[in-house]
């Protein structure tokens, strides 16, 4: 089975962004004003620019984790909706009931808690530890998005780690379907 990783383009874009920040950092270090023309770095101290680049990299990492989670969550919801379509093929139910039931299921899945959906895969199909790691990424994603100062930060998930865990989970779920 060929694996189509919907998260890979996000990770690749992040890697390019990270490399661009490295190149910019090196350009600042050698004080090449020609390469810095038409940027906000002209007239800014090396230290300030360096600090801004470090902050930008951290913000980019967090944004990538949020985006990876969003694409992963859409995959999970779409997967459950697709599997729910089997209800329409049930010849023991009246067609009108099956259509109404599926429509309700399709709409309701959009509001289900993702933790509950992930728990459905634990029943011997997928390693519960992998699902636990995915839930930890979600906790970090929630912290990034809400940044509630009354709540402590959860352990940081890097883009690479988030990609590895979420892609593996997608692959395992796709493998269940084949």
Q: Tens digits of per-residue pLDDT, 97-128?
A: 888 888 998 899 999 999 999 999 987 789 99
Q: Identify the band that residue 140 occupies on the pLDDT scale cut at 50, 70 and 90.
A: very high
In a domain, 27, yes or no: no
CA-based nearest residue to 85, from 70, 66, 102? 102
Angle formed by the axes of helices 8-29 and 46-84, to 10°? 180
Q: Identify the band that residue 131 occupies on the pLDDT scale cut at 50, 70 and 90.
A: very high
Reported pTM: 0.89
Q: How far apart are CA 118 and CA 69, in angstroms?
A: 13
In a domain, 92, yes or no: yes
In a domain, 173, yes or no: yes
> Hey, what's the torsion of the CAs at 19, 23, 26, 32, to 10 degrees?
-170
Q: How far apart are CA 25 and CA 50, in angstroms?
A: 7
In a domain, 17, yes or no: no
- Better-predicted residue by pLDDT, 153 or 62: 62
In a domain, 63, yes or no: yes
Rg of the chain (C-alpha set): 22
In a domain, 51, yes or no: no
Q: How far is CA 135 from CA 93, 103, 125, 165, in A?
A: 36, 28, 17, 10
- Considering the chain, what percentage of its residues have pLDDT values greater than 90? 60
In a domain, 14, yes or no: no
How many domains, the chain?
1
Which range marks the domain in which residue 145 is found? 58-177
Q: Identify the band that residue 37 occupies on the pLDDT scale cut at 50, 70 and 90.
A: confident
In a domain, 43, yes or no: no
Q: How far apart are CA 83 and CA 90, in angstroms?
A: 13
Q: How far apart are CA 94 and CA 115, in angstroms?
A: 32
């Amino acid at each position: 089975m060929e694996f189509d990783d919907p998260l890979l383009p996000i990770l690749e874009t992040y890697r390019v962004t990270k490399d661009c920040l490295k190149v910019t950092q090196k350009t600042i270090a050698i004080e090449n004003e020609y390469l810095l023309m038409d940027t906000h770095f002209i007239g800014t101290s090396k230290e300030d620019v360096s600090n801004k680049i470090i902050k930008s990299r951290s913000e980019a990492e967090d944004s990538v984790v949020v985006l990876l989670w969003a694409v992963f969550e859409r995959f999970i919801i779409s997967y459950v909706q697709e599997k729910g379509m089997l209800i329409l093929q049930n010849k023991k139910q009246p067609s009108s009931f099956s259509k109404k039931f599926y429509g309700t299921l399709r709409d309701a899945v959009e509001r289900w808690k993702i933790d509950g959906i992930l728990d459905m895969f634990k029943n011997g199909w997928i390693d519960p530890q992998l699902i636990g790691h995915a839930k930890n990424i979600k906790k970090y994603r929630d912290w990034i998005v809400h940044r509630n100062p009354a709540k402590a930060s959860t352990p940081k998930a890097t883009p690479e780690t988030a990609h590895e865990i979420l892609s593996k989970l997608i692959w395992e779920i796709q493998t269940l379907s084949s």
